[in-house]
Amino acid sequence: MAQHTLPQYDSLRPETRKAIGTVLHNLRINAGEAGKALVLNEVAARSGICIGTLSQAENGIRLTWRTIEGHVEACTRTKAKMNAALRAIKRLIETDAAETGSGATTAEEQVGSAITNDAIKKEARAYWNRRSELRMPPGMKSFEDGVLCLSALSDRSCVSLRSLADTMTTKAGCKISHSTLAQIFNGKARLNPTRLRGLLIAHQVPYKSWASWSNFFRNHDPDQRGETYWALPPDPETLTAQRKQFGETLMKAVGEDVIIKRYATLAGTDSATINQIFDGEDVAYGVISRALAAARQYGVSPDTMRKLIKLAAPLKFTATT
């Protein structure tokens, strides 16, 4: 399984991150005509990196090699100056590793890994642009690659980790801090289904695309926890719409003139409950399952049954037991 170190230097000491941010800030201050400062809008236009990400980098936050390199290139007029600035930043990273005993990698090795990771994220963004849908990109080979793609979603949205954490908490019921999010993207905290669901909701990924993400992480889960563990409950709005669509499709399949009492008997329930299903109300999945079996006895076509079964799948997460 391919292992990647995520290209975010949050593991560096605060003073090192601040020093890198200062290098970037000073480059911008002296990058304009006659030594005047460039504004972040100009750096963003030149680099293709959003203003928020550039501002965070100058403050030593969410430092990635793509951001560092893009910022430096936008603020230097010659390749020699660009390379000199990048060498200075690499030395800061190497010194930090040597003094903290993290020892693991040199700056060159970290940068090489970062370039690989940025290539994965670039590939993900290109796939989403081509397809106009936020499915898990094909060709990813490891759990870590999947986390990189989630990080690419965050880069694409140009939101701070703090805002992202707030949205996950308020809209998805996933209480999480921005520091924990940073640890997930850095591979220091494990992604789980609740956090995955929160990220998908926060990034407004349509529910129809969720299965591509959950299936990927299930298939590449180092602990092999299986389909049940990685099943993702829909957001409440999607669940309501799914119930309504299922009810309408089921009623049309068995016929609007169906004798409710007879159909309810076949389904092992009562007429009122069948009407609730038809109306898209919250009904226990066990009853829905029996209603599906009864629909088959009514002679519903195989194609329609497959459609009904697909529509019913998310209803397993109904609040009613």
CA–CA dist 275, 259 (Å, integer) = 11
CA atoms within 13 A on the CB side of 45: 5
Looking at the predicted structure, is the pLDDT value of residue 45 above 50? yes
Between vectors from CA 170 to CA 169 and to CA 175, what angle results, nearest 5°?
15
**pLDDT tier, 63 (very low <50, low <70, confident <90, very high otherwise):** confident
Q: What is the mean pLDDT of residues 130-154?
A: 89
**pLDDT tier, 166 (very low <50, low <70, confident <90, very high otherwise):** very high
Q: What is the mean pLDDT of residues 134-157?
A: 89
Sign of CA dihedral 21, 23, 29, 33: negative
**pLDDT tier, 9 (very low <50, low <70, confident <90, very high otherwise):** low
Q: In terms of CATH architecture, what is 14-108?
A: Orthogonal Bundle (1.10)
Q: What is the mean pLDDT of residues 280-290?
A: 89
CA–CA dist 289, 282 (Å, integer) = 13
Q: What is the pTM of this model?
A: 0.56
Looking at the predicted structure, is the pLDDT value of residue 180 above 50? yes
Looking at the predicted structure, is the pLDDT value of residue 298 above 90? no
pLDDT of residue 318: 56
pLDDT of residue 115: 52
**pLDDT tier, 109 (very low <50, low <70, confident <90, very high otherwise):** low
Sign of CA dihedral 269, 270, 275, 276: negative
pLDDT of residue 66: 81
Q: What is the mean pLDDT of residues 5-21?
A: 72
Alpha helices in the chain (DSSP H): 14-29, 40-47, 51-58, 65-74, 79-100, 107-131, 143-157, 161-172, 178-185, 193-202, 210-219, 226-230, 236-254, 260-266, 271-278, 285-297, 302-312
Rg (CA), the chain: 26
- Record the tokens describing residue 184, joined without a space: 């997930």
pLDDT of residue 24: 93
pLDDT of residue 201: 92
pLDDT of residue 228: 80
Higher pLDDT: 90 or 11? It is: 90
Fold that domain 133-230 belongs to in CATH:
434 Repressor (Amino-terminal Domain) (1.10.260)
Percent above pLDDT 70 for the chain: 88
Which of 12-21, 35-44, 95-104, 225-234 is predicted with the least confidence, judged by mean pLDDT? 95-104
CB 23, CB 88: distance < 8 Å: yes
Fold that domain 236-317 belongs to in CATH:
434 Repressor (Amino-terminal Domain) (1.10.260)
Every domain of the chain with CATH number 1.10.260.40 lies at 14-108
**pLDDT tier, 189 (very low <50, low <70, confident <90, very high otherwise):** confident
- Mean of pLDDT over the chain: 83
Looking at the predicted structure, is the pLDDT value of residue 6 above 50? no
Looking at the predicted structure, is the pLDDT value of residue 125 above 70? yes
